[in-house]
Amino acid sequence: MTASAPRSIADYLRQLRAELVGEDPALIQDALYDAEEYLRAEVAAHPDMTESEVLEMIASTYGAPEEVANAYRDTEARVKAALNTPRATGNAAIPGDGFFSVFLDPKAYTSLFFMLLSLATGIFYFTFAVAGLSISFGCAVLVIGVPFFLMFMGLTRVLSLAEGRLIEAMTGERMPRRPAHPGHAQGFWMRIGLMLKDPRTWTTIAYLLAMLPLGVAYFAIASLGLTVSLSLIFAPLIAVAGRWSWLAGNGFTIEPSWIGSFWALPILVALGIVLLTLLMHLARGIGRLHAVFAKSFLVSRPGFTTA
């Protein structure tokens, strides 16, 4: 091995992290996890060799830190190119292209769905976090307290990964596909201490708690926007049903008072289309902002390591 070659797993991970500076934090977390998982498995498979000897032995198969970093960059670029939806070309431009073209963006629809879904997920996350923290601190003096806390933190990290995958699917923002590696085998209490010192432990819990008010706000915006805009768009159908249905002939009135005369219907439809388009733009923007917010809370900080 050369003088600059890593002599230990910790040294290898530091060099790999340095090679990935400037890349997406989620990509860095995945790369570090894969590297540490592979290297520690190789060290465990050769107990008669030191870490430096194992690293030297697998240098040609796994690769140097800079080679691994370049491989991850190339793979990430290919994945992004494959997932990007190409814009339609050669077709007649739709009226108001640039404003109404939001209806051609799948992320606008998935972000709107995420806003509607966030009420349910927010209630679940908030209930899980409050119940877990309450029981953990309440049972801290009992024998069962520590195992329950460890189980709670393990489930919290599973939820953070699941939420990250949901956000990536809905908004397209790169999120971690692997957890932060726990590091080498350590004592029971040392592992608990590292978990308590890991900032992501507490930022993940904070994210779960914050999802309740955010979920309520997202759901209110999405549901109210859809109700108002779609009611205006379908105003002609409501008017026809209210004036010429068999119910109207039997003395029932189902036409809302806000429709007014038939002369106002085109204006109401146009207003509904504009409001729906604004809602789609807003949903797409909220999706992007929430993805950035989630990444700042759920992705491990590059400077922290349990190695």
Q: What is the structure's pLDDT at 3?
A: 43
With cut-offs at 50, 70 and 90, classify the pLDDT of residue 96: very low
Residue-number span of the structural domain to which 53 is assigned: 1-75
pTM, rounded to two decimals: 0.74
Instruction: Give a yes or no: residue 254 inside a domain.
Output: yes
Q: What is the structure's pLDDT at 185?
A: 52
Q: What is the structure's pLDDT at 236?
A: 74
The answer to whether residue 307 scores a pLDDT higher than 50 is no
Residues 256 and 145 in one domain: yes
Here the tokens at position 103 are 């209806």
All residues at 6 or more sequence positions from 76 whose CB lies less than 8 Å from its CB, including other chains: 23, 24, 27, 174
With cut-offs at 50, 70 and 90, classify the pLDDT of residue 184: low
Residues 66 and 105 in one domain: no
Domain count, the chain: 2
Residues 14 and 137 in one domain: no
Identify whether the C-beta of residue 283 lies closer than 8 Å to the C-beta of residue 112. Answer: yes
The Cα-based distances of 226 to 232, 236, 244 in angstroms read 10, 17, 26
